[in-house]
Structure 1
Amino acid sequence: MSLMTLTTAITGNQDPNFYAGRADAYDDHQTGTPLDTLNTRAAYNAEHHNPMYAAGYYARVLEIRRETADINDLQADIAHTEHLGRAA
């Protein structure tokens, strides 16, 4: 069974392929696909899919990478603060 990602209505000159790529990257990430695999799929999409679809997929992968980096930084800060708190 697959999951369907619902998005808001697209208006104006926005390309639906861009949002389809973003939705697919979101779905892939939600199902537990590792970040390295998402990067590989983004590179594959750049060569074999509609350019706007590939751009949307890669844009979401970049957001996931930034979110992951932010979470890792916050966890490191918390661990460092807790460690300092115990030493005092």
Structure 2
Amino acid sequence: TGHSLGATGVQEAIYCLLMLQKGFIAGSVNVDTPDAAVGDLPLVTATRDAPLRQALSNSFGFGGTNASLVLRRWERETSSNPW
């Protein structure tokens, strides 16, 4: 069906927000034979539950339009330090 071009970054950010809200990590598809250099990095190949507080959305667009967003789950402050 094609690439959504300019809307792709928004779609990625929305998916990150859904993962933060619902508490899961989406698995990466088609990771059947990872490079040996990956070593012991925990590749997520199947969706799993996870109590996420932050998520990083990297968008690398055509023509060098790049952006990275760090999203954080909103929680009521219970102390004087919001971080």
TM-score (norm: length of structure 1): 0.35
TM-score (norm: length of structure 2): 0.36
Q: Decide which structure has greater strand share.
A: 2
Q: Decide which structure has greater helix share.
A: 1
